[in-house]
Amino acid sequence: MFFPETIAKIFNVKYPVVQAPMFGVSTPEMVASANRAGCLGSLALADLSAEKSVELIRKTRKLTDQPFAVNIFVHQIPEITDELETKFIKTKNFLEQFASDHNFEVHLPSLQDLHLNSYHEQVDAIISAECTVLSFTFGNLDEKSIQKLKEKGTVLIGTCTSVAEAELLEKSGIDIICVQGIEAGGHRGSFESENIPQIGGLSLLSQVYDAVNVPLIYAGGIFNGRTVKAASELGAQGFQVGSLLLNSKESALQNFEKERLKNVSEKDIVLTKSFSGRFARGIQNKFIKTIENSEYILPYPYQNKLTGELRRVARTVENAEFVNLWAGQSVVSYSELSTQDILEKLLRECF
């Protein structure tokens, strides 16, 4: 296969393959390993504070001298109302009791104790750290942030899950669009948290290719040479790989989580709002079965912050029924090799 050169040249890497920014899975070590394969590593910053974001950027730069992307969430924070506060307390009490009923104690934060960070602080930190590539999801950057980043020469990658979202990104001046199919693992990049587009990836990719005139990266179900070639035929010039790296040497997943991957079948992979309040694709467990479609789901980021402590404690006791394990619809034999080795194998299959 002849790889398109456009995106590789923009990123200043050998291959137009992007290691997905999987928050909670990808690490600075994974970014560096992806870079060694000649691909673009991605550092997941999600909605961390500006200080923590800079700390991770500096740690990554100690491991690689190659370009890498940073990725942030550009969500809006819902206003705290009496209704939200009442529902928060109700959900908090239920989750604490739910955990206790399953033999582990957890004390979840109050609404007043939550630390909610605006992505605008991250943008300023990313500019100060002189990052060259910024990808983002959950919507679009505001006009002022786009202008500030472009003045610094930062390449901007927006995420779309529909043609309409792609057109909005192009209109606002975003350089590259990552087209995310419904089969992709992790959070949907949809601009809205409710009534999200549920378009199959290859169908969406073909439609977006016809609708916009910026380079496209495809994300969703990429796990071998055939899937890369299929995406290329439909207009992708870059290819984002995530789930294939879940069990890699550099993955942040713990051993009990990696063991769960070995027994996954296609029927286990579901879309859920239960952990974060936004739709994400992952492996079903007792928590998802109980919380999904219940009254105990708050809007993002409140649900995400509230369940964060529960998930942290569940990991310390290795309880796979109370942790989120995001994975895409393409179930594979998750390799224990390094990210570099996994990506190099993928690249060999493309020729």
* pLDDT recorded at residue 3: 67
From CA 64, how far away is CA 51, in angstroms rounded?
A: 20
Confirm if 314 and 323 have CB atoms less than 8 A apart: yes
Q: Which two tokens stand for residue 243?
A: 């789930």
| Burial (0-12, 13-18, 19+ Cβ within 10 Å), 224 | middle
* pLDDT recorded at residue 1: 57
From CA 191, how far away is CA 195, in angstroms rounded?
A: 10
288 Cβ contact partners less than 8 Å away, ≥ 6 residues apart: 270, 272, 274, 275, 282
Class of domain 1-77+116-245+334-351: alpha beta
* pLDDT recorded at residue 105: 92
From CA 190, how far away is CA 180, in angstroms rounded?
A: 9
* pLDDT recorded at residue 179: 98
Which pLDDT tens digit goes with each residue over 152-211?
999 999 999 999 999 999 999 999 999 999 999 999 999 999 999 999 999 999 999 999
Nearest Cα to Cα of residue 71 among 151, 7, 10, 158 = 158
From CA 252, how far away is CA 205, in angstroms rounded?
A: 30
* pLDDT recorded at residue 210: 98
From CA 10, how far away is CA 175, in angstroms rounded?
A: 10
> What's the predicted TM-score (pTM) here?
0.96
Q: Which residues of the chain have pLDDT under 50?
A: none
* pLDDT recorded at residue 2: 58
Which pLDDT tens digit goes with each residue over 219-256?
999 999 999 999 999 999 999 999 999 999 999 999 99
Confirm if 234 and 209 have CB atoms less than 8 A apart: yes
Domain boundaries, the chain: 1-77+116-245+334-351, 78-115+254-324
333 Cβ contact partners less than 8 Å away, ≥ 6 residues apart: none
Peptide bond into 301 cis (omega under 30): yes
